[in-house]
């Protein structure tokens, strides 16, 4: 009797396995083409672990602009080139609006906070974050004024270098970080403040410890000791710093006069405390604050750092910007956002810096929110989607000589600013960067304020400087370099 039941059980198991194998074969038939995966490893052995993005671009040559790869056991649909990315993120915005997780972050965020949330949680947190950022931009002390003040603090700090060569990496990230600090905590920090220095070092290290191997095999690597745990330790320290600040602000909160992002969130939590399904919880507050720090500090400061390096390599571009600053702003007053409209060459250069530096080449992972028909394929609900922004920024069908740095591509024949479609540093669609307005304001004001005061020089000849990125996975960063400043 026991033998019969065991045989029956075995038979049932075989049927289930066969059915699921058939189903997955069937689904694969309708998915975009791609290399055959190995069990558990997927296509990992076909990818260069030090430059995943480059490996994906190579696969495109073989399989076309939309293809499927397996990173470990995870199936990912990759989108290449402006047309495919736009058709997905813009024309089918709702279907492609899910957020995929980055395993190296999942332990920290647990799908909380606006960046990694999905469904109703994401909708509520996104709406709230956008409104709050916008409101602070219109308050008594606008974000523009705050950025102008911080840019002056940065200039004073840079003054201290007295023309000697230095690496601008920490000066820039501290200045940019202070803008987010003003928005979320309501105050800036002194550049010498020990806690602030530590916080910025933690964010810096966290950004650089996203190891592709961990993202492909999180289950196994989690159990093995090693350097891949450093990132998570940094996150825990950042979370403690934020939680401490929230506690302090909770103690002095005036519900009728919230002063910053955290105050507004705490007020919303109070308002919604009777709602059992509210998303305005402490966990979402801590994680959204962390998100704003992380998304808002490294991105802008990396772009500026790349921008200054590009100017060292192309002194003639710097020269033209200096001339435009002198003609439109002069040397006395601080640059304002309004000036941008009258400075097409500077505007074009900033766009070209963002296109060329391409700091988030794979954007952030998306998922499809339902079974989705796309270009004749059927992508099952929950499938991961990587829109490769690098293939938009270096799309040969959209840009002439995309490898060259040329602000002129953003200028019309009569010198006016000219838009380009294939320019998506902030991505597009429902998940597009929610800090775009702030980031653009920061880039323009910091860039022009520094260039109004200083001429940038490299201690080595421009030919010796390389614009190739240092890390080319989740994020591209410029190689470390030295900068000398001469007062203008
Ligand atoms: C040069 C600066 C910046 C660049 C290039 C950039 C780029 C991006 C990109 C590519 C994404 C992913 C979009 C997608 O999934 O399709 C993103 C998302 C996001 N960014 Fe930015 N970003 C910048 C600055 C900022 C700033 C200053 C903030 C903070 C105020 C910010 C907050 C966010 C948030 C919260 C998300 C997640 C949006 C969501 O999932 O709904 N970013 N950003």
Kindly state whether residue 15 falls inside one of the protein's structural domains. no
Q: Which residues are annotated as a binding site for heme?
A: 433
**In the block, residue with structure tokens 């196994």:** 220
Q: Report yes or no on 379 lying in a domain.
A: yes
The CATH number given to whatever domain includes residue 452 is 1.10.630.10
432 alpha carbon to ligand 1 midpoint, in Å?
Answer: 7
pLDDT digits (tens, 9 = 90+) for 294-343: 888 989 999 999 999 999 999 999 999 999 999 999 999 999 999 999 99
| 43, two tokens | 């296509």
Atom from ligand 1 closest to the CA of residue 432:
13
Q: Ligand 1 center to residue 78 CA distance, Å?
A: 20
> Is position 165 within any domain?
yes
Could you tell me the residue range of the domain that residue 88 belongs to? Answer: 29-487
CA-nearest of 211, 195, 261, 205 to 235 is 205
The tens digit of pLDDT for each residue in 104-148 reads 777 788 889 999 999 999 999 999 999 998 887 654 458 899 999
Share of the chain above pLDDT 90, in %: 73
Say if residue 49's pLDDT is above 80: no
Higher pLDDT, 41 or 375: 375
Q: Which residue among 105, 131, 299, 446 is best mutated to probe the pocket of ligand 1, counting the most ligand atoms within 8 A of its Cβ?
A: 299
User: CA torsion sign, 390 to 393 to 398 to 402?
Assistant: negative
Q: What is the mean pLDDT of residues 354-367?
A: 96
Supply the pLDDT for residue 211: 61
Annotated binding site: 433
Confidence grade of residue 21 (pLDDT, cut at 50, 70, 90): very low
C-alpha 69/C-alpha 73 separation (Å) is: 10
Total domain count for the chain?
Answer: 1
Query: What does pLDDT average to over the chain?
Result: 90
> Rounded distance, CA 119 to CA 418, Å?
37
Distance 441 CA to ligand 1 centre (A): 14
Tens-digit pLDDT profile for residues 83-94: 999 999 999 999
Beta-bridged to residue 98, according to DSSP, are: 367
Nearest to 99 by CA among 78, 122, 129, 67: 122
Q: Is the CB of 432 under 6 A from ligand 1?
A: yes
CA of 420 to the centre of ligand 1 (A): 20
Residue 297 Cα to ligand 1 midpoint, Å, equals: 10
Q: Is residue 55 part of a domain?
A: yes
Q: With a cut of 70, say whether residue 4 has pLDDT above it.
A: no
> Above 50 in pLDDT, residue 16?
no
Flag whether 5 is in a domain.
Answer: no
Residue 16 lies in a domain: no
Any atom of ligand 1 within 6 Å of the Cβ of 425: yes
| Per-residue confidence (pLDDT) for residue 8, from 0 to 100 | 57
Q: 291 in ligand 1 pocket by Cβ < 6 Å?
A: yes
Q: Is residue 76 part of a domain?
A: yes
**333 occurs within a structural domain:** yes
């Amino acid at each position: 009797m026991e033998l019969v039941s065991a045989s029956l059980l075995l038979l049932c198991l075989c049927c289930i396995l066969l059915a699921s194998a058939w189903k997955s074969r069937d689904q694969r038939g309708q998915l975009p083409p791609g290399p055959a995966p190995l069990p558990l490893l997927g296509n990992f052995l076909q990818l260069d672990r030090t430059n995943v993005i480059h490996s994906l671009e190579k696969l495109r040559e073989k399989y076309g602009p939309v293809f499927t790869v397996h990173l470990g056991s995870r199936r990912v649909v990759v989108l290449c080139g402006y047309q495919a990315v736009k058709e997905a993120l813009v024309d089918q915005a709702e279907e492609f609006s899910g957020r995929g997780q980055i395993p190296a972050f999942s332990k920290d965020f647990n799908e909380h906070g606006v960046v990694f949330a999905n469904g109703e949680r994401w909708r509520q947190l996104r709406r709230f974050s956008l409104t709050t950022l916008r409101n602070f931009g219109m308050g008594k002390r606008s974000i523009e004024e705050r950025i102008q003040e911080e840019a002056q603090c940065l200039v004073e700090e840079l003054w201290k270098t007295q023309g000697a060569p230095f690496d601008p990496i920490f000066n820039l990230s501290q200045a940019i970080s202070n803008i987010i600090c003003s928005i979320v905590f309501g105050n800036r920090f002194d550049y010498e403040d020990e806690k602030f220095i530590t916080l910025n070092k933690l964010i810096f290290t966290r950004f650089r410890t996203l190891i592709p191997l961990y993202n492909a095999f999180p289950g196994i690597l989690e159990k093995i000791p090693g350097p891949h745990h450093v990132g998570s330790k940094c996150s825990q320290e950042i979370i403690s710093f934020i939680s401490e600040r929230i506690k302090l602000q909770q103690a002095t909160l005036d519900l009728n006069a919230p002063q910053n992002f955290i105050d507004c969130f705490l007020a919303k939590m109070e308002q919604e405390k009777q709602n059992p399904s509210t998303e305005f919880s402490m966990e979402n507050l801590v994680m959204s604050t962390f998100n704003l720090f992380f998304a808002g500090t490294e991105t802008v400061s990396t772009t500026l750092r790349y921008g200054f390096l590009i100017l060292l390599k192309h002194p003639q571009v710097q020269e033209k910007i200096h001339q435009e600053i002198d003609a439109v702003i002069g040397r006395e007053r601080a640059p304002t956002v309004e000036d941008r409209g009258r400075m097409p060459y500077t505007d074009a250069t900033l766009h070209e810096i963002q296109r060329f530096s391409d700091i988030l080449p794979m954007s952030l992972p998306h998922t499809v929110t339902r079974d989705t028909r796309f270009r004749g394929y059927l992508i099952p609900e929950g499938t991961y989607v990587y829109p490769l922004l690098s293939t938009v920024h270096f799309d040969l069908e959209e840009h002439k000589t995309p490898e060259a740095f040329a602000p002129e591509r953003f200028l019309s024949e009569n010198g006016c600013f000219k838009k380009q479609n294939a320019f998506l540093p902030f991505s597009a669609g429902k998940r597009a960067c929610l800090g775009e307005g702030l980031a653009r304001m920061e880039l323009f004001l910091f860039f022009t304020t520094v260039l109004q005061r200083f001429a940038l020089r490299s201690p080595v000849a421009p030919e010796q400087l390389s614009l190739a990125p240092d890390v080319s996975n989740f994020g591209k960063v410029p190689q470390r370099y030295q900068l000398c400043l001469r007062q203008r």
